[in-house]
Amino acid sequence: MIKNDLYLKALRGETVERPPVWMMRQAGRYLPEFIALRDQYDFFTRCQTPELAAEITVQPIRRFPLDAAILFSDILVVPQAMGIDFKMKESVGPWLDNPIRTAEQVQNIQVPDVNETLGYVFDAIELTLQKLDNAIPLIGFAGSPWTILCYCVEGKGSKSFDIAKSFCFQQSEAAHQLLQKITDTTIAYLKRKIEKGVSAVQIFDSWGGMLSPTDYQEFSWKYIKQIVDALSSHTHVVVFGKGCWFALEEMITSNVSALGVDWTITPELARTFTNHTMTLQGNFDPARLHSSPETIKKMVNEMINRFGKDRYIANLGHGILPNIPLENAEAFIKAVVDWKPNI
């Protein structure tokens, strides 16, 4: 039995005294203890070493009164498991020497046995759950098939992913074949995470906002929906599409437990688009954590009051930035924990 189940109550739509709080990328780069490990081990070594991944996952939990932990990993472990050899290049980020640009390359990609190729992630879950000792829930995650395709075809990060989009529009059949292979691998991967004990899973569609609403339906949402449909009877599924506010009305017709929203939509509009029936997560601008702790507290209180305390999970609208002062991260978390309704 998880001692603090506030996050799970919010996912179930139950009445709560205050919203739960966690931060995307909370296990990571803004923490001095994370930086110490980063200086010793390269990025994918940290992901692929269960002891390191578990340690990094619980680092923020030791510091802050968070209501959920999220497993330290990366969305690119899925294409790596499929034989797509991503590296993390210094000052560049994700890098693929041979991007996927042809139908023949797509045909040669295999849907792997995740137990063989991603066993280190499942081992990290076991170690993390031991460290958490049922204090709070553990969240597992994966990237959306579209977001993974963006990196696979572009070969690196991009501001617009024009090469990836052109691939989809010019070689549509190959694009859909690649998306389906990523989807099948992701379903197997997340199912195994659930079996190993995570309490919920989140799908990150970081680049969904690059697509028009029509193209989003074809190249992103229908694959996310496959994942949701496959997993929703097993656990809570949260979908976060950055820049995808236009799809919220469609998303609520699925079996998701919650939808993440970024800072480009107001709480009121997000509630309207989701018929006031959906648990929402977000949407504090990560850059706003550069404000003073006093300002952060005031803005967090306003954010909660506008979303409402029920069916709401306080979070950032994207991952925490690496240069955020610890006291400002703490101010954000503490503002949620200390929140009281206006009487």
Q: Which of the residues 25, 120, 123, 306 is marked catalytic? A: 25
151 noted as active-site residue:
yes
Average pLDDT over residues 217-243: 98
**Residue 128: exposed, middle, or buried by beta-carbon count in 10 A (0-12, 13-18, 19+)?**
buried
> Phi first, then psi: what are they for 164, rounded to 5°?
-65, -45
| In the chain, where the domains are located | 6-337
Cβ–Cβ under 8 Å, residues 196 and 125: yes
pLDDT at residue 266 tops 70:
yes
pLDDT score recorded for residue 91:
84
Residue 335 annotated in ligand binding: no
25 is in an annotated binding site: yes
Q: Is 62 one of the annotated active-site residues of the chain?
A: no
Phi, psi dihedral angles at 260 (to 5 degrees)? -85, 145
Residue 216: active-site member: no
Write down the catalytic residue from 29, 120, 123, 306.
29
Side by side, the strands of the sheet bearing 258-261 are 69-70, 138-143, 200-205, 236-241, 258-261, 279-284, 312-316
pLDDT in tens, 88-143: 998 899 999 999 999 999 999 999 999 999 999 999 999 999 999 999 999 999 99
Three-state DSSP class for 143? strand
Catalytic residue among 5, 74, 184, 262: 74
Quick one: average pLDDT of 229-246? 98
Nearest 5 degrees, angle CA 34-CA 139-CA 330?
50
Tell me what pLDDT residue 90 has. 84
271 belongs to the catalytic site: no
- Digit-coded pLDDT (tens) for 173-192: 999 999 999 999 999 999 99
The closest of 198, 257, 227, 241 to 24, measured between CA atoms, is 241
What's the pLDDT at 342?
Answer: 82
| Per-residue pLDDT, 184 | 98
Q: Is 331 annotated in some ligand binding site?
A: no
The confidence band for 343, taking pLDDT boundaries of 50, 70 and 90, is low
Instruction: Tell me which residue of 83, 65, 81, 64 sits closest to 73, measured CA to CA.
Output: 81
Is 97 catalytic? The answer is no
| CATH class of the region 6-337 | alpha beta
